[in-house]
Amino acid sequence: MDHSSDHSGQPAIFDIELKPYRSLGPRGFAILIGVVALGNLGAGLAFWLLGAWPVFAFCGLDVLLVYLAFKYSYRQQRAREFIRLDNNALEVRRVDLKGREQVWRLQPYWLRIECDAEDESANLRLWSHGRALTLGAFLSPDERRHLAEGLREALVRWRQPQGAGLRPITEA
């Protein structure tokens, strides 16, 4: 989770960028593919020498499928969610793996955060006016619970009075 930059000119009470985590970096990916290729090459050659040469082709296909699966996984890493709470609204901006963007602006006063701490899936949802928006589907359950805590704290700060008067509420 990284903090994102300010786009509206207003100070952010909460501002974060969510992105999928991939534990295997480019170097580790190259090593893994090398090991898989060498292992399949060795097995394929052994079968070739035993006269079962079609197995060699399947070993090559195996390497290709492992490579494509990891490339697809890395492509999914392009997905992002940006969550920003300022004085006027909570904005959620979601960018999918193809770069398509969706934006939701929610009025924080009516916002309810739901994340069941006892549930293994710990889905995180923002509820407003009877509608739900799921956040951080690519995060682990612990990360979603941590994000829910941070959002709840930010909403408490947002709802606290500013000076003598209350924070102005504008329609989103």
Residue given tokens 């329609």 in the structure block? 171
pLDDT at 119: 66
Both tokens of 62, joined, read 């195996």
**What pLDDT score does 79 carry?**
86
Could you read off the pLDDT of 104-147 as tens digits, one per residue? Answer: 999 998 899 998 766 677 789 999 988 999 998 888 888 999 99
pLDDT value of residue 3? 43
- The pLDDT score that the predictor gives to residue 171 is 44
Residue 116, both tokens = 């069941």
Residue 48 makes CB contacts below 8 A (sequence gap 6+) with 55, 56
CA torsion 149→150→155→160, rounded to 10°? 100
The low-confidence residues of the chain, meaning pLDDT below 50, are 1-6, 163-166, 168-172
Please give the biggest Cα pair distance in the chain.
87
pLDDT at 172: 40
pTM for this prediction: 0.66
Q: Residue 23: its pLDDT value, please?
A: 77
